[in-house]
């Protein structure tokens, strides 16, 4: 069976070979996520998990992603 070469393979190999610390920094200034804590506040976090700011409402956290030109992502 002839398999086509995946053009993403070099990039996937690059990601796979990255150290955990370097991987955590990937997207740190561009991607953020919002984490609900104790049903009374929301933490806006950078891609590496560092807390950027704490909000009392989800709406406030989402608005801050827009103000800081961050791309919010969903985690599952």
Q: Is pLDDT above 70 for 72?
A: yes
Q: Is 5 exposed, middle or buried (0-12, 13-18, 19+ CB in 10 A)?
A: exposed
Return the pLDDT at 76: 54
CA torsion through residues 29, 74, 51, 57, sign: positive
Q: Which residue has the higher pLDDT, 11 or 69?
A: 69
Per residue in 47-60, pLDDT tens? Answer: 888 899 999 999 99
Of the pLDDT bands very low, low, confident and very high (cuts 50, 70, 90), residue 3 is low
Of the pLDDT bands very low, low, confident and very high (cuts 50, 70, 90), residue 64 is very high
pTM for the model stands at 0.65
Q: Is pLDDT above 80 for 5?
A: no
The CA–CA distances, whole Å, from 54 to 12, 24, 39, 40, 66 equal 34, 21, 13, 10, 15
For 8: left if phi > 0, alpha if psi spans -120 to 50, otherwise beta; the answer is alpha
């Amino acid at each position: 069976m002839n398999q086509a070469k995946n053009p993403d393979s070099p990039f996937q190999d690059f990601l796979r070979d990255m150290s955990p610390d370097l991987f955590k920094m990937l997207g740190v200034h561009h991607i953020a996520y919002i984490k609900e804590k104790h049903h009374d506040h929301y933490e806006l976090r950078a891609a590496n998990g560092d807390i950027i700011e704490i909000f009392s409402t989800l709406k406030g956290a989402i608005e801050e992603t827009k103000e800081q030109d961050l791309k919010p992502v969903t985690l599952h």
